[in-house]
Amino acid sequence: MTERLYLTDSYLTRFHARVVRTFQSKNQLAVVLDRSAFYPEGGGQPGDRGTLGGVPVLDTQERDGELLHLVDAPTWTLGEVDGIVDWARRFDHMQQHHGQHLLSAAFLRVHQAPTVSFHLGEKTCTIDLDCPIDRLSPAALRAAEASANESIWRDLPVIARDFVGEERARLTLRKEPVKGDRVVLVEGVDASPCGGTHPRRTGEVGCIAVLRSQRWGSRAARVEFVCGNRVVQQLVQANETISRTADALRVAPAEVGEAAARVAAEAQARRKAIEALEGQLASHQADALVAAQPSGPIAETVEGGLQAAKLLSTALVARGRVALIASREGQRVHLCFSRPAGPGAAMNAVLKSVLPILEGQGGGSAEIAQGSGNASRLTEALTAARQQVLGT
């Protein structure tokens, strides 16, 4: 059983230990020590990284009570070794994990929304709340965020140790313990069973920023957030994005929202105008094709991709004609076969018969079918489709 030094001192980053054994674990060498300051992955918090004897520790996991230090080395010699924990990563995880405790306590206190799970990611963190998403309006998120930040800025002491007997009985725990007696306590704010790493005072979390929320499952809501230095990183990234967007729109950063809405409205108007023109073009093309081919199915290739093929096909069907329309895009071709309602060749069957020529795939109904394939034998495919319709 490995002695877990991080439980008594989250700030311990250098230690001396003895190698108990080594073995291969999923194509990586696992080193087991008699004592370790490395935190193993668990409770939503990733495992620590650092070095053992100068060799990189890529991850730390727990298995059957042992801490497995997965190292970047093919072999290892038993004996004494010095360990160093990556402090920047450890402190970031301390900020995020304790921030989660304070935010979860705030959601429970302000909205009666308990946390059911937590994940500490590389860039952001999430908590899943037993709470319908419609209860988490922007104002509701800001209220919980403000309450959590108040707990941070009061710079309260954080106690992380075992609580037993009457002392434990006096605590109102935010959640039931899974194992062990360790509780992370902020007097008057939160008491939660936890084996993770935490700061000595809430002020070290710095601040919490709730980024967004979304529906998660049938009843739950997922809240994404960051703490401490990650808030600064998010602010820098957001500012850079806004600045680039403002430059592209040729407006001041404060005017980006209005400018983006204006551009979106103009783009939508242009799309509608283009769609109307495309419909008129398809109508003129259909008139010309019907005049040139007074009878029989019309097989034709057009520019503009699948949308153009569909528009022309629809226009021809409106004029009572069977349409076998194709449109090339590079080495690919899109097909749209359609006919008026009533008796006639089944378009899905016609398409299915020619798809092997194009090494393609597709499907549809008796009245309209669509597919795509290799354009190299398109003429052969359209000829075969036309002959099949004529022979029906």
CA distance 49 to 40: 9
Helix, strand and coil content of the chain, in percent to the nearest 5, comes to 40, 30, 30
Identity (one letter) of the amino acid at 346?
Answer: A
Mean pLDDT for the stretch of residues 231-237: 95
| Res 45: pLDDT | 93
Mean pLDDT for the stretch of residues 20-48: 92
- What domains are there in the chain, each with its CATH number? 3-85 (2.40.30.130), 91-237 (3.30.980.10), 281-391 (3.10.310.40)
| Res 59: pLDDT | 95
Mean pLDDT for the stretch of residues 239-267: 93
| Res 67: pLDDT | 93
pTM, two decimals, is 0.75
Whether 22 has a pLDDT exceeding 70, the answer reads yes
Q: What percent of the chain has pLDDT over 70?
A: 100
Label residues 159-194 b or e (16+ Cβ within 10 Å = b): ebeebeeeeeeeeeebeeeeeeebbbbbeebbbbbb
Specify the 3-state DSSP secondary structure of 338: strand
Mean pLDDT for the stretch of residues 131-159: 97
Whether 220 has a pLDDT exceeding 80, the answer reads yes
Whether 75 has a pLDDT exceeding 90, the answer reads no
CA distance 358 to 377: 6
Residue 392: pLDDT band with limits 50, 70, 90 = low
| Residue 276 per-residue DSSP state | H
Phi/psi region, residue 184 (left: phi>0; alpha: psi -120 to 50; beta: rest), is beta
More confident: 176 or 353:
353
The whole-chain average pLDDT of the chain stands at 94
**Are 324 and 298 contacting, i.e. CB atoms less than 8 angstroms apart?**
yes
Mean pLDDT for the stretch of residues 278-294: 94
Mean pLDDT for the stretch of residues 336-363: 93
| Res 180: pLDDT | 84
> Going by DSSP bridges, is the β-strand pair 332-338/368-374 parallel, antiparallel, or unpaired?
antiparallel
CA distance 39 to 236: 30
Whether 255 has a pLDDT exceeding 70, the answer reads yes
Whether 341 has a pLDDT exceeding 80, the answer reads yes
> Going by DSSP bridges, is the β-strand pair 298-302/323-329 parallel, antiparallel, or unpaired?
parallel
- Cα–Cα nearest to 168, from 193, 151, 186: 193
Query: By CB neighbour count within 10 A (0-12 exposed, 13-18 middle, 19+ buried), where does 347 fall?
Result: buried
| Residue 302 per-residue DSSP state | E
Task: Using the Cα atoms of residue 78, residue 83, residue 89 and residue 90 in order, give the sign of their dihedral.
Answer: positive
Residue 314: pLDDT band with limits 50, 70, 90 = very high
Whether 181 has a pLDDT exceeding 70, the answer reads yes
Residues pairing with 28 in the sheet: 25
CA distance 8 to 5: 6
Residue 84 CB contacts under 8 Å (≥ 6 apart), including other chains: 13, 14, 50, 51
Identity (one letter) of the amino acid at 167?
Answer: E
Residues pairing with 22 in the sheet: 31
Residue 179: pLDDT band with limits 50, 70, 90 = confident
Mean pLDDT for the stretch of residues 211-231: 94
| Res 177: pLDDT | 80
Residue 313 CB contacts under 8 Å (≥ 6 apart), including other chains: 323, 325, 336, 337, 338, 368
Residue 131 CB contacts under 8 Å (≥ 6 apart), including other chains: 107, 111, 113, 114, 219, 220, 221
* DSSP letter string, 182-249: EEEEETTTEEEE--S---SBGGGG--EEEEEEEEETTTEEEEEEEETHHHHHHHHHHHHHHHHHHHHH
Q: Which two tokens stand for residue 110?
A: 């302000």
Q: Which two tokens stand for residue 65?
A: 């009570």
Whether 178 has a pLDDT exceeding 80, the answer reads no
